[in-house]
Amino acid sequence: MSQATFGDDELFGEAANEMREDVESSLSAGWEALPAADDIWESDADNVLGVLNGLNAVLDVGDAEDHLRDAKKWFTMGQRAEAFDDADDLEAEIGDLEDAIDDITAAGDQVGELTSTIPTLRGTLEDAGAEDSSVDDDDADD
């Protein structure tokens, strides 16, 4: 059985290409794991609380953080090994995905706060309306 010989440069170039493909694949999977734009924009709910609960459920980054971590890991490895001729595009896309994940997470936190606040606010306003009507009833008696 004969064994093919490869030069170090050829092997390094092949490994660098595979590393770049791994970063690109992880980035693609990260973007795909994020919620779809239409899912956060459209709702079939009948009231505000239903909309907020639906939105809260959709604002989940899923496995995107894990894919981002993999992309960053392989990107860092490739950079340190000086394996990439030009990695500016990868670095920019990593930043964009990281920003998108941060934005979705922050929006989820805000929606979560509203989801817990709205029922309390509704109760407060209903109680205030009941008090106003009892005051109006008392004034009508005078």
Q: Provide the domain limits for residue 65.
A: 8-137
CA distance 82 to 136: 78
Residue at 79 is within a domain: yes
Residue at 1 is within a domain: no
Residue at 2 is within a domain: no
The structure's pTM equals 0.80
**Count of domains observed in the chain:** 1
Residue at 101 is within a domain: yes
- pLDDT tens digits for range 29-79: 999 999 999 999 999 999 999 999 999 999 999 999 999 999 999 999 999
Residue at 36 is within a domain: yes
Residue at 58 is within a domain: yes
- pLDDT tens digits for range 101-135: 999 999 999 999 999 999 999 999 999 987 766 65
Residue at 142 is within a domain: no
Residue at 103 is within a domain: yes
> Ramachandran region of residue 2, left (φ > 0), alpha (ψ -120 to 50) or beta?
beta
